[in-house]
Amino acid sequence: MKSGFMNGQLPIADILQGSVFYPASAMDGRPVKYLGGFSHSFVYADCNIAQDDLWRELDTFKGYRIYYSRSVAREELCFKSFQPILPERTDGDPSRQRVRDDFSPYALWAIYDRRPEYDEAHGPERFSLLFVAGEGVATFQSLYYSNHSAPSVITLIRCDAFTGNWTAFFDPTKIFARSVIQNPYGIPDYIFCDYQHESEPPWPWFSKLQHTVVAPYGRLHLWSRGLTESFAS
């Protein structure tokens, strides 16, 4: 991270460019566990996690301790106006998005240091987590379009069935996939997901299976856009 953030300056461009973006994330630490080191910046979005609950769980990543954390104002996240991709009738009804009765928008940012009793085999020395209490499609467009940035990885885990999301994130024809692929500032190199069909990717633009992780609650797959690099376990 560039100098200055400890004095209140949020390095939003550094946080977003090359990050791992995870919509409907809940408080799932698996992307950090399996992609830590591949990326050092994780951006989570979920509108059903209470701020008090998140603060209680923020310092629970195994092998890490919080180096720095603070609340983030909306004005720090989205600087420039942008042309949004609007939902179509076939995308679903945004008014049907499940939201907590006591929902209030917020964002938190934390930087983590690896504990001294753990070595580099456990994970990177430091990583960043930006958590935005927002719906996945709107948060993606607001963050990445507004800041002229693109993530390196899209994470989709248990994000459709029984989640209350108003649109299907796995469906390549729906608005979330279109928002990612039509981002004028770049397309991710990878998608990390628990899509059940190992012989085919969830989105056709990511056609090369790079790695499979046998994780709690099922297998996770890393698909690339046909890149030749392999993903180190």
Q: Is residue 227 part of a domain?
A: no
Q: Is the dihedral of CA 142, 151, 220, 33 positive or negative?
A: negative
Asked whether residue 202 is domain-assigned, the answer is no
**Average pLDDT for consecutive 10-residue bins of the chain (233 residues)?**
61 97 95 94 95 95 97 92 95 85 89 96 96 96 97 90 78 96 97 81 93 87 72 40
**pLDDT value at residue 162:** 54
Structure-token match 């104002």, residue found: 73
Q: Is 126 helix (H, G, I), strand (E, B) or coil?
A: strand
Task: For residue 203, tell me if it sits in a domain.
Answer: no
Q: What is the pLDDT of residue 96?
A: 83
Q: Tokens for 172?
A: 């390549």
Residue 80: per-residue pLDDT: 87
Task: Flag whether 231 is in a domain.
Answer: no
Split into its structural domains, the chain has a count of: 1
Strand-strand pairing, 153-156 and 190-193: parallel
Query: Residue 115: what pLDDT?
Result: 97
**Does residue 209 belong to any structural domain of this protein?**
no
pTM score of the predicted model: 0.92
Sheet holding 126-132: strands in order across?
A: 64-71, 107-114, 126-132, 41-45, 20-23, 153-156, 190-193, 218-224, 208-215
- Residue 118, helix vs strand vs coil: coil
* In-domain check, residue 199: no
Q: What would the two tokens of residue 184 be? A: 């004028």
Short-list 35, 31, 33, 57, CA closest to 44: 31
Q: Give the pair of three-digit tokens for residue 96.
A: 């049907």
Question: For residue 158, is it within any domain?
Answer: yes
Residue 116 within a domain: yes
Residue 46 lies in domain: 5-189
3-state secondary structure at position 109? strand
Q: Which residues contact 232 (CB under 8 A, 6 or more apart)?
A: 38
pLDDT of residue 16: 98
Give me the pLDDT at residue 110, please. 98
